[in-house]
Structure 1
Amino acid sequence: MTADVLQVEERGAVTWLTMNRPERLNALDPALTDALRHYFEGLNARSTARVVVLQGAGRAFCAGLDIKDTTAQDGGARGVEEMLEKQKSIRDIMLAMRRCPQPIISVVQGAASGGGFALALASDIRLATPDARMNAAFIRIGLSACDVGVSYFLPRMVGSSVAAEYLLTGRFMEAQRAYGLGLVSRVAPLADLQADAQSLAEDMLNATPVALRLTKDALGLAIDAPSMEAVIALEDRNQVLCTQTGDFREGMQAFLEKRAPRYTGR
């Protein structure tokens, strides 16, 4: 089932994940939810994947929770404890995406609504097609717009006023506005974005494995750091740790010799 709803293609150290429910705009049913959570929770520093690219099959990235799935409609009948576990099963995907050491690039095509919006926001880099449309759809179906990490990510990325505009209304954010706000890095046709994603991933692989992991880690922590001094202390830690690896010496030598580095992860 996992192979059906989530395709995993390894291209060397870059793994391409494709949500594969195009007939439902890749909406999150229990099978896809479980597949995404298990994949991201399984990533660690020893994984063969060093960079992950996330995309959706067909004409959409992810339309959010599949509300036609019967388990998504009977919240009142299921009780608090059962619904809390269901909620955690989804939100844990975003937590795992932020905690895993691999940078994540999302290629957002068409709709990224609700949980799909959260998946895009939990990624490190977002690329969007011209028809990409993102929204906090939760508020349009009787729920709070503050869900599965959206109210954490969005104000930090676009500011509190813009975040309130989209969270309080559930309006769609079009690709060009997302680009203007810095929420996405590029707007282009799908084939171009897929090539861009591969190129970005390959550039990331020019970093040593430990340097890439520590950079993602520090970027995430810096957002909530209490002071500049705390961030600089974290940067100091990263640099000293990096210098203790054989890969650091290989990277320096490769730079001086004007050749591609050969990292071993040590």
Structure 2
Amino acid sequence: RNKMDFAEIIYEKKDRVATVTMNRPAKMNAWTPKMGAEMRTAMLDAERDPSVGAIIVTGAGRAYCAGADMGALSRIAAGMASARAAEAPDEWLSAQRVDYRTSYSWPLALDTPVIGAINGACVGLGFTTCLYQDIRIASDNARMGLIFTQRGLAIEHGSSWMLPRIVGLARAMELAVTGRLVDANEALEMGLVSRVVPQDKLMATAREIASGIANKCSPLGVAQAKKMIYQHLFTDLATSVRDDDASMVMMTRSEDFKEGVKAFMEKRAPKFTGR
């Protein structure tokens, strides 16, 4: 089944790549609990689909995501609602390490790599969620920032942990306390995104990266590489060496490794199965 019905996102699967598009363009894709839940449903569908090797997340229209819907924020400010989203209980999530078992950090636990294609304003909660993607690329008209201190708020949902690990301590502190937005080129310079391309090339570039991963790389290898890197943000070097080596031993016993070597010897593209 290629099409699922969603109200606030568009979900497509094609050529081993799943694309999740936040789809509230009139509201600059402002985040609602419904949109968040739909994104999670779509991304977990992609994770469980063996024919999907990478996920792209982007926004419809001129914005990526302009943050939490102001209607919801107004209700919180008026004391009518809680700011904290309930942690979504499900079997997949409860099997993950506790750090990934939260409302926004869960993409770190996906085996499938997530590529953020930041097509415009990426602010507040939009910015927070993109920190939990594996690769971020931006169009030349992207604008990114936390903004919270300019709204009487501070920092949320583990950005205080992720952001320094992505851009370094001094830059993270500066972005957090000023709340200012950076343009695509400054985001590139600080390592917040790994590539900037013209707006009309953004999705083609994202698909090229996603397709390269999905079609040229071992799904097992990709999942292990991602797992090792995130897991070792919590550990020491000796543990990382031991875990990497145990992972490598496991990989050498895999069908993907045998196929990788065989394909190289036969000078052809490998056909990986993820086993």
Superposition TM-score, scaled by structure 1 size: 0.89
Q: Specify which of 160, 164, 168 is matched with residue 173 of structure 2.
A: 164
Report the secondary structure of 2:63's partner residue. coil
1:12 corresponds to: 15
Within 1, Cα distance between the matches of 2:171 and 2:38? 32
* Contact kept? 1:2, 1:35, Cα under 8 Å: no
Shift, 1:155, TM fit: 0.6
1:96 aligns with 2:106: yes
Identity rate, percent? 33
Q: 201, 208, 211: which is aligned to 1:199?
A: 208
Answer yes or no: is the 8 Å Cα contact 1:51–1:201 preserved in 2.
yes
User: Any idea what SS the aligned residue of 1:213 has?
Assistant: helix
Unmatched runs of 5 consecutive residues or more in structure 2:
89-100
Deviations 1:6-44 (A, max 9, x none): 111101321011111111111102321221233345554
Distance 2:257 2:105 in 1: 30
Number of matched pairs:
258
Question: What is the deviation of 1:49?
Answer: 2.2
Cα distance in 2, alignment partners of residues 88 and 65 from structure 1: 17
Deviation, 1:108, is 0.6
Change (3 A) 1:241 1:45: farther
Instruction: Please show how residues 40-55 of structure 1 align to structure 2 within 5 Å.
Output: 40-41=43-44, 44=47, 47-55=50-58
With over 3 angstroms needed to count, the CA separation of the structure-2 counterparts of 1:160 and 1:46, relative to structure 1, is same
- AA paired with 1:63? A
User: Per residue, is there more helix in 1 or in 2?
Assistant: 1
- How far apart in 2 are the matches of 1:23 and 1:150? 27
State the partner residue of 1:77: 79
Structure 1 residue 4, shift from structure 2 partner: 2.8
Please report how far the alpha carbon of residue 181 of structure 1 lies from its aligned counterpart in structure 2 after TM superposition: 1.2
Contact 2:31 2:68 in 1 (8 A): yes
Task: Give the structure-2-normalised TM-score.
Answer: 0.86
Say whether 1:235 aligns with 2:244.
yes
Provide the residue aligned with 2:150 in structure 1: 140
Structure 1 residues 14 and 58, CA gap change in structure 2 (3 angstroms)? same
Mean alpha-carbon deviation: is it higher for 26-35 or for 46-55? 46-55
Match of 1:180 in 2: 189
Kindly provide the CA deviation profile for residues 129-180 of structure 1, in whole angstroms up to 9, marking residues without a partner as x.
Answer: 1111111122222222x20222111111111111111101111111111111
Selected match of 1:59 from 58, 62, 65: 62
**Residue 126 of structure 1 pairs with residue 136 of structure 2:** yes
1:28: which partner in 2?
Answer: 31
CA contact (8 A) 1:120 1:126 kept: yes
RMSD: 2.1
Task: Classify 1:94/1:77 alpha carbon distance in 2 versus 1 (closer, same or farther; 3 Å).
Answer: closer
Query: Take 1:159 and 1:22, find their aligned partners in 2: how far apart are those partners?
Result: 32
Residue identity matched to 1:211: G
**Deviation readout 1:116-138 (Å, 9 max, x if unpaired):** 10122111111111111111122
Residue of 87, 107, 114 corresponding to 2:124: 114
Q: CA deviation at 1:56?
A: 0.4
Q: Give, in whole Å, the separation in 2 of the partners of 1:47 and 1:191.
A: 30
User: What SS class does the counterpart of residue 3 from structure 1 fall into?
Assistant: coil
Q: Say which of 246, 250, 274 aligns to 1:265.
A: 274
Gaps of 5+ in 1: none
Whether the aligned pair in 2 keeps the contact of 1:52 and 1:102 (CA below 8 Å) is yes
For the structure 1 residues 33 and 45, does the alpha-carbon distance in structure 2 shift closer, same or farther, using more than 3 Å as the test? closer
| C-alpha distance in structure 1 between counterparts of 2:103 and 2:199, whole Å | 25
Deviation, structure 1 residue 105: 0.6
